[in-house]
């Protein structure tokens, strides 16, 4: 299977004490944290590309432009959906949306880049040599 416009992915979780704004340090209230919504959106985008990349390839997040429009309390299910909307060489663009059991909680655009995992990690490790 190859990457094509329209590929879709999904990720879901339940809001717990561990993924609230209070626990993440992104706020003081016990509701689903924006950083966790971002992670869920990224997970959905990764899921959309599952099985479509060559062996040894992966993707890394490069850009996010999202809104978090509604709070979700502890105990509710939340999920994110991603749809591949643009392929520009190794650059991928996704439309991302997040929902809870009551409706839409966030939306936006997410960019990812296809990488050769070994090369990417070797380049990251070279940063240790600069210190």
Q: Which of 34, 57, 83, 85 is catalytic?
A: 34
Radius of gyration of the chain (CA): 16
Instruction: Give me 42's structure tokens.
Output: 């990224």
43 included as an active-site residue: no
Cβ atoms within 10 Å of 108's Cβ, excluding its own:
18
Q: Which of 20, 42, 81, 93 is catalytic?
A: 42
Instruction: Give me 109's structure tokens.
Output: 């655009």
Q: Which of 20, 43, 49, 68 is catalytic?
A: 68
Annotated binding site: 61, 112
**Please, where are the H alpha helices in 7-84?**
21-24, 34-49
110 included as an active-site residue: no
Tell me if 17 sits within 8 A of 98, measured CB to CB.
no
101 included as an active-site residue: no
Instruction: Give me 5's structure tokens.
Output: 């416009």
Annotated binding site for substrate: 61, 112
Give me the active site residues, please: 34, 42, 68
């Amino acid at each position: 299977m190859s990457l094509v416009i329209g590929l879709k992915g999904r990720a879901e979780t339940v809001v717990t004490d561990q993924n609230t704004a209070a626990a993440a340090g992104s706020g003081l209230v016990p509701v689903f944290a924006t950083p966790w919504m971002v992670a869920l959106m990224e997970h959905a985008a990764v899921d959309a590309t599952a099985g479509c990349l060559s062996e040894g390839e992966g993707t890394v997040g490069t850009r996010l432009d999202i809104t978090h429009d509604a709070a979700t309390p502890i105990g509710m299910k939340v999920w994110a959906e991603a749809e591949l909307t643009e392929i520009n060489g190794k650059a991928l663009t996704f439309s991302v949306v997040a929902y809870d059991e009551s409706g839409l909680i966030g939306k936006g655009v997410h960019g990812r880049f296809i990488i050769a995992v070994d090369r990417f990690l070797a380049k990251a490790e070279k940063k240790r040599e600069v210190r």
